[in-house]
Amino acid sequence: MFGDLFEEDFSFISNNHYGKGKKSKPRDCEPPAPRDFTNLSGIKNQGGTCYLNSLLQTLLFTPEFREALFSLGPEELGTLDDVGKPDAKVRIIPLQLQRLFAQLLLLDQQAASTTDLTESFGWNSNEEMRQHDVQELNRILFSALETSLVGTSGHDLINRLYHGTVVNQIVCKECKNISERQEDFLDLTVAVKGVAGLEEALWNMYVEEEYFENENLYRCGACDKLVEASKSAKLHKLPPFLTISLLRFNFDFEKCERYKETSCYSFPIQINLRPFCEQTEMDDSEYMYELFSVIIHKGGCYGGHYHVYIRDVDELGNWQLQEDEDRLIEDKLSRENENAKETENPLAVLKGILLEEECKQIPVDQLGQKFLEKIKVSWNKKYRKQYGALRKYLQNHPQIFQFSPDENKVGLKEKYKLPFKSDFQGQAFQSPPQENGIQWNSEKAPPRLRESSSGCHWFDLNDSKVQPIKEEDIEKQFQGKESAYMLFYRKSQLKRPPEARGNPRYRIPEHLLNEMNAANIELQKKRAECDSANNSIDLRLHLSTCYKFHNGALHPSLSWKESVLDLTVDRRKTLGDLRQSIFQMMKSWEGDMVLSSAKPLPAGLHLYQILDGDELTLDCFGLADGADIFVWNGKEVSGVKVMAGPDHEPVLLNILRLVEYNEGGKGQHFTESQHVFPCSTKLSDLHRALAPAGGIILKNDSGHKEAKNWEVLLEEHMKETIKTVGLTDGCSVLILDSHDQSLVNISSGNLTAFTYDISWLQVKNFCGRDDEEKHVKITATIETVSSLTVWDVTPGVALISFASEGGPVNED
């Protein structure tokens, strides 16, 4: 009937310039994430096992079941180390369940795996994992446990906690004979269709009577004939834990299809079962039950997802509601900063930057750079003294900013992606202080614990994700496609010992405590190694003693290997730590040691920012993996003063000059050389250095030497700099002297011919007297010399055209 109801539908689940950046690290090498601020562990979804996860969490948060299971020692269950040994009696299912519960309670990881447990069930394929829905699984799991515990002191564990009986009675109207039959149950299945809620459904089942009359009569065994009779059912024995399965799924015989009943179906937090019981003489407390778990199904008949709302009876988790805490924080800040409204609000600036980003998250280093561009001053200069480093400030506001798993990228949490609204514009946003002395597993300081009545802490456990909820949120699961599917009640009389409150180690066997302690130590070690690897960066140290400054940049005087030292450091170390490490690497160093960020350019090595502030971390300077650091005295290199910074960045230009004549007319018609100039050099200075008097300069930043790509730099450009006119490394500059300017159309500002196509005409005056014979050379394009042309220029003067190849053409 259920078909592929238990097939899970995931459609609704939300799916620096100083170096190379952070080293990549394979995801499978990273240890599992630690628990979040709730201090509760979720369970990984193997792919369709959300129904199993919901039921396992319900059993875990049933303290009496958990402790009864832990009370069974190795002497009764055996040990997992003995699996496969001949003659060894190992009860694998309860052992794996014990181990999973210990991990969920004590292991510092965000989510535990159920792989070992499902393998103990014999579920080794996806098909076997998808064959049950959660109501069926509840019965199958209890049956498997009962079978595994036969012959142990826990043989009656399931019956003791979950077993109840219903008595069915038929009363003969004539002889008053009562026919009784008892039925056992581990869970009660109640109707949803046409019923307003749980209490009405129980009333219909255990208070209302069914009558046999007219043509529908009952054969009485005492009367031995068909008689009128009444049929009723009562709860005979109530278990400590009452499990109720709701019939949400039905079959429409007219349409011949399944459907999910999504109408409103209410159920109480507390319920009195006296009206539904056979014996009603006891005190009311004997019949009172309290809701502690609601397994929820989201979806339809042909697929969906399970998660569970659970009441934390032993208060093992840290419970608080984020929206309430946000309001308290804002109110507190409003009071504390009433007299500081003129202060700029860094939170608003950071939030505004992230709102403008198309990507959900950006690197923290990039955020710092955008912050600088936004307010024209760096975070370190303006806010570090008041709020600390940028990364620390972001981590102190976990209610607003969300980090990627490796904590190298940051974005806004979903609810803060709306425009920022505040009644205290311009106030500094402070982190709430830790209260109650609570120690948290996460580095992010969670909000203060909300005051709440004991035992009313509810959580939504949705596979790996755990979050606190309000008790009134349960009402949202009365109806709709996402609605309650199984209800779990516990007797109100069941009280927990004070020593169990907030104590996840309570009643856990010593061998499991030791195993979890060892596992946590190993996890901490792996996290420390992973953290160190994620934060380690390789720096290239360039020593000034091995460099010379010439042609506008720094160049090694020795080989690269001898001039550069490799050093691996932790980016969280301070600049002072780095300086000390360099001192230790160096055999000797005289005078001050200044560290500057550097960058290899086509022209050579160039220096940028001087790293200042020994107390600051390397991360504050934006140093990433592969960054270059220049070690010098801060003034000069080999006696030459070095200008640092982006304004003095050297630009390598290709300088082209026309050749006066090329024998045979073949090959290149220009010479090419490379020159280096600071990017702040004015074009007038460039012109003075390269072009002769009366000469002109053309630039080409496209890389293609066709005539259309050359642009003349006119007189009005001379006040601009190399950088502002767009000249960068590798750009070409053509220098033309005065007699080569026939190639240029000054009015359009473009070159009229491709430099490879240039030819020359040799002109000789044969018309004058012998002592006045002169030779003149003029430039011409290919089109100009394609045929012989003779003109009378002036009386007695003729031009004889020479082609670009061969001798003079005969005179006509």
The separation between CA 707 and the C-alpha centre of its own chain, rounded to angstroms, equals 51
Bridge partners, 180 (sequence order): 169
Residue in the block written with tokens 């069915």: 168
Measured CA to CA, the distance from residue 557 to residue 561 in angstroms comes to 11
Measured CA to CA, the distance from residue 458 to residue 477 in angstroms comes to 14
Measured CA to CA, the distance from residue 687 to residue 698 in angstroms comes to 10
Bridge partners, 403 (sequence order): 410
The separation between CA 1 and the C-alpha centre of its own chain, rounded to angstroms, equals 41
Contact 651, 679 (CB under 8 A): yes
Contact 449, 312 (CB under 8 A): no
Task: Using DSSP, state whether 482 is helix, strand or coil.
Answer: strand
The enclosing H or E element of 382 equals helix 379-382
Measured CA to CA, the distance from residue 579 to residue 593 in angstroms comes to 8
Contact 233, 167 (CB under 8 A): yes
Bridge partners, 761 (sequence order): 778
- Residue 375 structure tokens: 């307010």
Q: Could you tell me what percentage of the chain is helix, strand and coil, using 3-state DSSP and rounding each to the nearest 5?
A: 30, 25, 45
What are the residues whose beta carbons fall under 8 Å from the beta carbon of 719, sequence distance 6 or more? 682, 683, 684
Angle 318-324-328 from CA coordinates, rounded to 5°? 105
Nearest CA to 534 out of 186, 22, 8 is that of 22
The separation between CA 288 and the C-alpha centre of its own chain, rounded to angstroms, equals 46
Active site residues: 50, 305
End-to-end alpha carbon distance in the chain: 109
What are φ and ψ of residue 686, in 5° steps? Answer: -65, -45
What are φ and ψ of residue 234, in 5° steps? Answer: -140, 150
Alpha-helical (H) ranges within 692-738 are: none
